[in-house]
């Protein structure tokens, strides 16, 4: 047991959650763990020192990256300078691959071991990145088993650790009790709506979600829609969308935070494709996944994609069963039709819940502990 100095970079809330779990696991293995770099509020609450704001490197799409690139590059140069002049024992880049892989490459070159936690979706698009990953990453930690298989085929040291959300979620949450906590009447048919955790996502998707809700209520007037907000900025953006478009709020309930409880209380989830899709699957919730991005970003994704599916549960199921409505298909009419298809066929919902339960078991591996073990192995190698 000794002091461990860790360099870290996280770029969004999901990464901050992963980092917090990892930090707690490392502290059970070392007398002292010092962490510096870029960390979110959960990691900072555990003592991590954040030299830059997590939001400063979190951008969406190619157009967003172009706009923010000069500032992002300045931050990366400052971290390279800091970590090379005062090297940590190990650097852990948590997700944000477009930022972290370049940083990891420079750090590994000067002899700092680099661990990348959360595989880039190199198996789905921009497969050419595997060459850079092999040069930049001492060890890859993956959340999903098929990703580890991919890295083994490409001779990248890898450990499948499972997903921390699978460790956290029981899978038998009491939906009725949660609906009561949210102020919904017993037996209310409930749809969770998650149009994204970023303002840009909300601006593109919230109008379509609200129009879809109106279409669903035209057919089933008793359905309630619950929207959890990731931040006050997201709430403000959502409310601005309502005002700008003159949209109805009938049957709409909004709450701050509590996204997991809202999904657990729901019958169906309508969401922006991303981490929330896996969370909904672990909660055994039928869902409709959708996404809209700028025309430039969409064109680039199509150019470099080599998968037909974007929603993670569809990669984990034996056959894809989650409806995906991307870009021009993300219309209110299609969203409403897919949500109604679930609500009007309980047997279909039940069969999917069983498949989601099997996914849950496959990912429940005590991820933070396995990730900490892997880092210790890297330090000893």
Query: What is the tens place of the pLDDT at every residue in 155-205?
Result: 999 999 999 999 999 888 888 899 999 999 888 999 999 999 888 899 999
Alpha helices in the chain (DSSP H): 13-27, 41-45, 61-85, 97-109, 130-136, 145-153, 164-168, 175-181, 199-219, 232-245, 259-265, 275-282, 295-304, 312-316, 332-343, 346-363, 367-380
Query: Distance between CA 363 and CA 268 in Å, rounded?
Result: 22
pLDDT over 90 (residue 337):
yes
Are 301 and 186 contained in the same domain?
yes
Q: How many CB atoms lie within 10 A of CB 111?
A: 8
Output the pLDDT for position 13: 83
Q: For 195, phi and psi rounded to 5 degrees?
A: -80, 10
Kindly state whether residue 89 falls inside one of the protein's structural domains.
Answer: yes
Output the pLDDT for position 274: 84
Give the residue among 213, 169, 154 at the shortest CA–CA distance from 356. 169
Output the pLDDT for position 174: 86
Kindly state whether residue 126 falls inside one of the protein's structural domains.
Answer: yes
What value does the mean pLDDT take over residues 40-49?
A: 96
With bands split at pLDDT 50, 70 and 90, how would you rate the model's confidence at 128? confident
Are 87 and 39 contained in the same domain?
yes
Kindly state whether residue 339 falls inside one of the protein's structural domains.
Answer: yes
Are 48 and 40 within 8 A, CB to CB? Answer: no
Output the pLDDT for position 349: 92
Are 203 and 249 contained in the same domain?
yes
Are 221 and 258 contained in the same domain?
yes
pLDDT over 70 (residue 353):
yes
pLDDT over 60 (residue 305):
no
**Cross-strand partners of 34:** 5
With bands split at pLDDT 50, 70 and 90, how would you rate the model's confidence at 55? confident
Structure confidence by residue, pLDDT tens digits, 240-298: 999 999 999 999 999 999 999 999 999 999 999 888 999 999 999 999 999 876 555 55
Give the residue among 117, 11, 88 at the shortest CA–CA distance from 370. 117
Are 74 and 56 contained in the same domain?
yes
With bands split at pLDDT 50, 70 and 90, how would you rate the model's confidence at 60? very low
pTM: 0.84
The CATH number assigned to the domain holding 45 equals 3.40.50.2000
pLDDT over 50 (residue 63):
no
Give the residue among 164, 151, 29 at the shortest CA–CA distance from 89. 29
With bands split at pLDDT 50, 70 and 90, how would you rate the model's confidence at 59? low
Kindly state whether residue 169 falls inside one of the protein's structural domains.
Answer: no
Output the pLDDT for position 126: 64
CA angle 248–250–256, rounded 5-degree value: 95
Domain that holds residue 42: 3-162+365-380
Q: Are strands 224-229 and 268-272 parallel, antiparallel or unpaired?
A: unpaired
Q: Judge residue 203's burial from the number of C-beta atoms within 10 Å of its C-beta, 0-12 exposed, 13-18 middle, 19 or more buried.
A: middle
Are 346 and 371 contained in the same domain?
no
Kindly state whether residue 170 falls inside one of the protein's structural domains.
Answer: no
Give me the residue label for tokens 């990953």.
133
Are 324 and 194 contained in the same domain?
yes
Give the relative orientation of helices 199-219 and 232-245 as an angle to the nearest 10 degrees: 60
Are 139 and 179 contained in the same domain?
no
Question: How many domains does the chain fold into?
Answer: 2
Are 316 and 201 contained in the same domain?
yes
């Amino acid at each position: 047991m000794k002091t461990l100095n860790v360099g870290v970079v996280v770029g969004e809330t999901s990464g901050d959650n992963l980092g917090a779990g990892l930090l707690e696991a490392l502290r059970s293995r070392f007398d002292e763990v010092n962490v510096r770099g870029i960390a979110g509020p959960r990691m900072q609450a555990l003592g991590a020192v954040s030299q830059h704001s997590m939001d400063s490197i979190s951008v969406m799409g190619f157009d967003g990256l172009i706009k923010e690139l000069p500032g992002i590059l300045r931050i990366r140069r400052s971290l390279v300078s800091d970590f090379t002049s005062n090297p940590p024992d190990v650097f852990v880049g948590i997700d944000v691959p477009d930022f972290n892989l370049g940083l990891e490459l420079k750090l590994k070159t000067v002899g700092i071991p680099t661990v990348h936690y959360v595989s880039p979706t190199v198996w789905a698009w921009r497969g050419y990145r595997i060459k850079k990953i092999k040069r930049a990453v001492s060890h890859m930690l993956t959340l999903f088993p098929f990703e580890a298989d991919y890295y083994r085929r490409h001779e990248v040291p890898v450990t499948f650790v499972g997903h921390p959300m699978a460790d956290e979620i029981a899978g038998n949450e009491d939906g009725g009790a949660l609906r009561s906590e949210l102020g919904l009447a017993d037996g209310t048919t409930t749809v969770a709506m998650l149009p994204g955790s970023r303002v840009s996502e909300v601006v593109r998707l919230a109008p379509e979600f609200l129009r879809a809700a109106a279409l669903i209520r035209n057919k089933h007037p008793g359905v309630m829609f619950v929207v959890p907000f990731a931040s006050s900025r997201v709430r403000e953006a959502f409310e601005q969308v309502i005002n700008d478009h003159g949209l109805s709020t009938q049957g709409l309930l909004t709450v701050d935070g509590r996204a997991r409880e809202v999904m657990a209380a729901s019958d169906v989830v309508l969401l922006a494709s991303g981490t929330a899709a896996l969370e909904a699957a672990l909660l055994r919730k039928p869902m409709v996944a959708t996404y809209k991005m700028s025309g430039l970003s969409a064109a680039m994704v199509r150019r470099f994609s080599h998968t037909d599916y974007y929603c993670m549960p569809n990669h984990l199921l034996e056959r894809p069963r989650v409806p995906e409505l991307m870009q021009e298909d993300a219309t209110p009419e299609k969203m409403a039709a897919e949500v109604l298809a679930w609500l009007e066929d309980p047997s279909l919902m039940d069969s999917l819940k069983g498949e989601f339960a099997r996914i849950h078991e496959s990912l429940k591996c005590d991820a933070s502990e396995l990730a900490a073990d892997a880092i210790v192995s890297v330090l000893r190698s």
